[in-house]
Structure 1
């Protein structure tokens, strides 16, 4: 396989992943996703697994179930059936069975506290001692003031990364090389990071992180780096400073304490951070950032 072919494959699958995450409540059958990638069904499924490490159906199923699990905890006024429908899990019997197979409890049990045991087991089994300590011990940072901002949509160049650990710096390295090759300004305060996964319920090596660089528009020629627009709208905004791992307990406190007491509910797009100083780029692993979490009423 030539380098150009490999780059094209990664770009096409990135387009599919973007489509999946924007349309979890829609029709995500293989045939339709193959058309997004401009591949035959058979070739698409093979390429998807090479790039992501999962089959198409497994990826879609897992992403929908994880999204639904978050809605059941963080949107307590949303009915279980409505939460499932918002994630494209429309058959009640099939949804309940799939949820229990994946999380070990029924959706109702999960909402009534079953998520706490699952979270504790996930952190114990799947996170490093360093990061588990950050998530399970009292946060040494004061919880920051939460402000409500209405954001504009932002065009970004991006590189996807699987795993929440220091290897995320490799995604930013790729962005920096790409920016130098195309004359795009490289500034830490133009860096963003999309947080697709809830670390409470997703193993560290399966968390999806998207390293982003703000750009003027999306129409730059594609290559190993892809492009998308991060949606705007109402977001809770928290300014946080610290070192690698310090953001995790802030996220936990926001979702499990501030959000349920705020009168807001979780929005449908991923949370993201905007850096003034990025710990995946900074040699001292220090960050200064704003955390943006989508919200609605």
Structure 2
């Protein structure tokens, strides 16, 4: 009974966070959300705070700012007002005020290069990325249309070596369910090169093929969004991924003529370095784009 209650509370907390991420460009209505989840607002707030250590409104503010700070770098054809609207702000002045409180500079200063020192300070927290010798200058993506994918997942707070244990748990679940045909996907709700690593939300996902039967449905589910993506194929070792993400968002996207959206990027593993003994990976990285 205790486990059932914990699983239900975990599912509610994850459902709330999923709703926030997928509706970040709207005026998020907490009353409607509590009705959809069939729980009181008080209970909903308490479950969320217990799970994530901050209240729902603080989380919405954090996610809006994380998305906006990324779009200001990548979407050079969008105005600051466009980006504010895309991230759910009703006015540019309110967006500028909260942005400056968080990043100690205006959105314009950030967009004009202020993000670079901020980003370097974050990467400095990840020595493996600093030591990476990988070079991506000649890499060109394939433009693809990706379908929606239904996944089972475990959420990991933070971009750190603890992700390995999350993947081990997920792989144990796969073996327990005797799932043979599936995809391993890592969802990046944040750009870890401009979001403090301890704040990043990393989602380890299993996407079973439609013929697979799931007998243990302990894990929560959500849908990975369909859309148009730039697909990069790469291989390397632990530490190269963060350096690659930095290159994609800070160099390739601003120079590409494309803009990104608020949909999260994701990596589809062909070889998962968190599950391989040599810590080498082979993956396809998908970045949502528009033109």
Q: What TM-score results when the alignment is normalised by the length of structure 1?
A: 0.90
- Bigger shift: 221-230 or 257-266? 221-230
Provide the C-alpha distance between the structure 1 equivalents of 2:217 and 2:188, rounded to a whole number of angstroms.
23
Residue ranges of structure 1 left out of the alignment (5+ in a row): none
Question: 1:206 offset after TM fit, Å?
Answer: 1.5
Paired residue for 2:11?
11
Provide the C-alpha distance between the structure 1 equivalents of 2:126 and 2:110, rounded to a whole number of angstroms.
25
Matched, 1:202 2:195: yes
Provide the C-alpha distance between the structure 2 equivalents of 1:36 and 1:82, rounded to a whole number of angstroms.
30
Matched, 1:171 2:166: yes
Deviations 1:114-160 (A, max 9, x none): 11122233334xx23333444xxx63566533211111222211111
Question: 1:262 offset after TM fit, Å?
Answer: 1.7
Provide the C-alpha distance between the structure 1 equivalents of 2:5 and 2:93, rounded to a whole number of angstroms.
42
SS of residue paired to 1:166? coil
Provide the C-alpha distance between the structure 2 equivalents of 1:48 and 1:36, rounded to a whole number of angstroms.
15
Q: How does 1:68-147 map to 2 (within 5 A)?
A: 68-124=68-124, 127-134=125-132, 139-140=134-135, 143-147=138-142
Provide the C-alpha distance between the structure 2 equivalents of 1:222 and 1:75, rounded to a whole number of angstroms.
42
SS of residue paired to 2:229? strand
Matched, 1:243 2:237: yes
Paired residue for 1:211?
204
Q: How does 1:221-260 map to 2 (within 5 A)?
A: 223-260=217-254
User: How has the CA–CA distance of structure 1 residues 36 and 283 changed in structure 2, closer, same or farther, with 3 Å as cutoff?
Assistant: farther
Provide the C-alpha distance between the structure 1 equivalents of 2:111 and 2:213, rounded to a whole number of angstroms.
43
CA-based RMSD: 2.2
Question: 1:204 offset after TM fit, Å?
Answer: 1.5
Provide the C-alpha distance between the structure 1 equivalents of 2:172 and 2:121, rounded to a whole number of angstroms.
39
Report how many aligned residue pairs link the two structures: 290
SS of residue paired to 1:214? strand
User: How has the CA–CA distance of structure 1 residues 222 and 14 changed in structure 2, closer, same or farther, with 3 Å as cutoff?
Assistant: farther
- Bigger shift: 228-237 or 55-64? 228-237
Provide the C-alpha distance between the structure 2 equivalents of 1:271 and 1:191, rounded to a whole number of angstroms.
14
Question: 1:184 offset after TM fit, Å?
Answer: 2.6
User: How has the CA–CA distance of structure 1 residues 13 and 35 changed in structure 2, closer, same or farther, with 3 Å as cutoff?
Assistant: farther
Deviations 1:52-87 (A, max 9, x none): 122111111000011011111100111111111111
Residue ranges of structure 2 left out of the alignment (5+ in a row): none
Check the 8 A contact 1:191/1:214 in 2, yes or no.
Answer: yes
User: How has the CA–CA distance of structure 1 residues 143 and 2 changed in structure 2, closer, same or farther, with 3 Å as cutoff?
Assistant: farther
Check the 8 A contact 1:123/1:203 in 2, yes or no.
Answer: no
Question: 1:220 offset after TM fit, Å?
Answer: 5.8
Question: 1:186 offset after TM fit, Å?
Answer: 6.3
User: How has the CA–CA distance of structure 1 residues 78 and 142 changed in structure 2, closer, same or farther, with 3 Å as cutoff?
Assistant: closer
Provide the C-alpha distance between the structure 1 equivalents of 2:23 and 2:139, rounded to a whole number of angstroms.
32
- Bigger shift: 149-158 or 279-288? 149-158
